[in-house]
Chain A
Amino acid sequence: MPSKPSNDVLQAKDIDLTTVDILTVTINEMNNPSLERELVDAGLAEYVNESEDN
């Protein structure tokens, strides 16, 4: 049965981070370009322009 990743807030009380947030931040913090490229190539992630975030 499909789960709902975007709304999947961690069960720990008061942690308002979704699993997707955790995964995204962790992979970005790893600073591993080849891993990022592999995920993007597999259609599991997309590059984000930093200036757009700001």
Chain B
Amino acid sequence: MPIAIKPRNDTQSIHEIGAIVNEYTPTRNAFWNTLLNRIALTIVKSKDWDTDFRDFKKGELTIGESIEEIFVNLARPHAFNPDVAEKEVFKREYADVRVAFHKLNYQIFYKNSISEQESRAAFVSWGALSDFVSSIIQSMYTALNYDYYCMVKYAICRAVLNNGVTAVASGSTGNGSESDYKAIVTTAKALANKFAIMSPNYNQSGVYNATRPSDLRIIMTADMDAAFDVNVLASAFNMDKAEFVGRRYLVDSFAQHDMARLAQLFENDENYTPFTAAELETLATLDCVMFDKDWTMIYDVLMEFEDIRNPQGLYYNYCLHKWGIISVSPFENAVALIQGYTAPAAPTGTLARFYGATNSATAPTNKKDNLGSWIEFTPTWTSGGAALTGEDAATTWAVSGNENGGTRITDGILRIASNETAASLTVTATNVRFGTTVTATVALA
């Protein structure tokens, strides 16, 4: 049957409770174990969901350590034409399904010790017990909240630098004047309106997507927020004050990061790249980031306390473990407003070929040898004399002219059906970021 502590208005009662709890070692160990694992963990977990960037969290993964994000792009429209129907009626057409994986990318723990003296002193008075418990809880969740802020800010800034976010000129010059901030708000307002219209221009993957105004989220600097009355900002985004306040998030600065802390947090993460001085200069020109509420892919994977008593040193060691995923979606809309941003010139592309039929870059003498075989295309995108890499060089593929549905291209590899009847095929590579295309013709007869 459960009990209720009957507090007396004196210090003697807490002394007596402490004496009963401490008189038998297994009971004392069980007391601290329960206090940490049930009470402290529950409070820290609830507080962990009460951070500045709490709305970016999607949930808790109870099974597995990765998220598979699937996006189905728009189906292709066809013009009605009975003449081609007899040839194309059984032709296959696959849905444009895109997949992104978000993996467990941070595993951290916080460690603390409770000495014998501290555990006994906790029962000196009601106030001492209160201070003692709160110090355990507060040290944990304050660290969790701060680290979550640091990691999310890092992930967003890294996405901006890696072109995971569409960059747009903000219209400001960075002098911090009122007119400068007004220019940013004007640009942001136009983008908020454009977000609501289906477009492939505002997400990393180039899929057709739209963001309703109610789903829009904005991260801006505290300086920018301070420069405006909140009503002015809210009306710029077609929201009322309360709505806007719930959807705008503040950072101290995009260019200031706790690098020492980040290095500790991502100590074992091979994908962590500290910001260089040049990158921080770029981030200093970042005015704000606007994105769909589903853009952030943030999940908790594990959070638990473990504790153990050292009988030799007479102290308890306890650890709070936190694992999670902090990532961004390539399919959801996100733009970065950057001072003086100019888009790189559209690149030109070339396609190199490797023939499966000859196992070389040389085409087979008999063109029909390509039937039932494959050709691998490798694109090279060049802008301003420099080869593009990473997201700038991301390419989508299409094949046309085929008369057999079995002929198709995936990731640059063209598989030609053995009974393909077309005399030639056209392969089109499209640079996702710039929309530039390059084509190649494959003769089969």
Partner of A39, one of B5, B30, B34, B129: B5
| Most chain B C-beta atoms within 10 Å of own C-beta, residue among A5, A10, A39, A40 | A5
- Mark B121-139 against chain A: 1 for CB-CB distance below 8 A, else 0: 0000111011101100110
Query: How far, in angstroms, from A1 to B10 measured CA to CA in the complex?
Result: 8
Q: Is B422 an interface residue (CB 8 A)?
A: no
Q: Is B346 an interface residue (CB 8 A)?
A: no
A42 touches B3 (CB 8 A): no
8 A-B pairs closest in CB distance: A5-B7, A12-B134, A5-B126, A3-B126, A10-B134, A12-B138, A45-B3, A19-B130
- Mark A41-52 against chain B: 1 for CB-CB distance below 8 A, else 0: 011111111100
A19 touches B129 (CB 8 A): yes
- Mark B12-28 against chain A: 1 for CB-CB distance below 8 A, else 0: 01101100110000010
B1 touches A27 (CB 8 A): no
Can you list 25 A-B pairs with a CB-CB distance of less than 8 A? A2-B9, A4-B126, A5-B8, A5-B9, A5-B14, A10-B130, A12-B43, A19-B133, A20-B7, A23-B5, A24-B5, A26-B31, A28-B3, A32-B27, A35-B21, A39-B3, A39-B17, A39-B20, A40-B3, A44-B5, A44-B20, A46-B3, A46-B4, A50-B1, A50-B2
Partner of B39, one of A4, A6, A26: A26
Chain A, Cβ-Cβ closest to B42 = A25
Query: How far, in angstroms, from A49 to B381 measured CA to CA in the complex?
Result: 75
A24 touches B3 (CB 8 A): yes
B127 touches A15 (CB 8 A): no
User: How many residues of A are in contact with the other chain, CB < 8 A?
Assistant: 42
A3 touches B127 (CB 8 A): yes
Query: How far, in angstroms, from A6 to B35 measured CA to CA in the complex?
Result: 19
Q: Is B6 an interface residue (CB 8 A)?
A: yes
B1 touches A48 (CB 8 A): yes
Query: How far, in angstroms, from A19 to B129 measured CA to CA in the complex?
Result: 7
Chain A, Cβ-Cβ closest to B33 = A30
Chain A, Cβ-Cβ closest to B129 = A19
B2 touches A47 (CB 8 A): yes
Query: How far, in angstroms, from A5 to B31 measured CA to CA in the complex?
Result: 19
* A binding-site residues for B, Cβ under 8 Å: 1-6, 8-15, 17, 19-20, 22-30, 32, 35-36, 38-40, 42-50, 53
Query: How far, in angstroms, from A4 to B126 measured CA to CA in the complex?
Result: 7
State whether A17 and B5 are in contact (beta carbons under 8 Å apart), knowing that A3-B125, A3-B127, A11-B134 are contacts in the complex.
no
In the bound complex, residues from chain A placing their C-beta under 8 Å from that of B14 are 3, 5
In the bound complex, residues from chain A placing their C-beta under 8 Å from that of B133 are 10, 19, 22
| Most chain A C-beta atoms within 10 Å of own C-beta, residue among B7, B9, B34, B137 | B7
Near A by CB (< 8 A), chain B positions 93-140 give 125-127, 129-131, 133-134, 137-138
Q: Is B215 an interface residue (CB 8 A)?
A: no
In the bound complex, residues from chain A placing their C-beta under 8 Å from that of B129 are 19, 22-23
A44 touches B126 (CB 8 A): no
A24 touches B4 (CB 8 A): yes
- The smallest beta-carbon distance between A39 and chain B, in angstroms, is 6
A48 touches B35 (CB 8 A): no
Q: Beyond the given A10-B137, A24-B5, could you list 16 further A-B residue pairs with CB under 8 A, ordered by the A residue number?
A: A4-B9, A8-B126, A11-B134, A23-B129, A26-B38, A28-B3, A30-B34, A39-B3, A39-B17, A39-B20, A42-B16, A43-B6, A44-B6, A46-B3, A46-B4, A50-B2
Near A by CB (< 8 A), chain B positions 400-431 give none
State whether A20 and B5 are in contact (beta carbons under 8 Å apart), knowing that A3-B11, A8-B130 are contacts in the complex.
yes
Query: How far, in angstroms, from A5 to B130 measured CA to CA in the complex?
Result: 9
Chain A, Cβ-Cβ closest to B36 = A26
A30 touches B4 (CB 8 A): no
Query: How far, in angstroms, from A12 to B31 measured CA to CA in the complex?
Result: 21
In the bound complex, residues from chain A placing their C-beta under 8 Å from that of B10 are 2-3
Query: How far, in angstroms, from A48 to B16 measured CA to CA in the complex?
Result: 20
- The smallest beta-carbon distance between A17 and chain B, in angstroms, is 7
In the bound complex, residues from chain B placing their C-beta under 8 Å from that of A19 are 126, 129-130, 133
Q: Is B50 an interface residue (CB 8 A)?
A: yes
B3 touches A47 (CB 8 A): yes
Q: Is B309 an interface residue (CB 8 A)?
A: no
State whether A22 and B20 are in contact (beta carbons under 8 Å apart), knowing that A27-B3, A46-B4 are contacts in the complex.
no
- The smallest beta-carbon distance between A4 and chain B, in angstroms, is 7
B2 touches A15 (CB 8 A): no
Q: Is B47 an interface residue (CB 8 A)?
A: yes
Partner of B6, one of A14, A15, A38, A46: A46
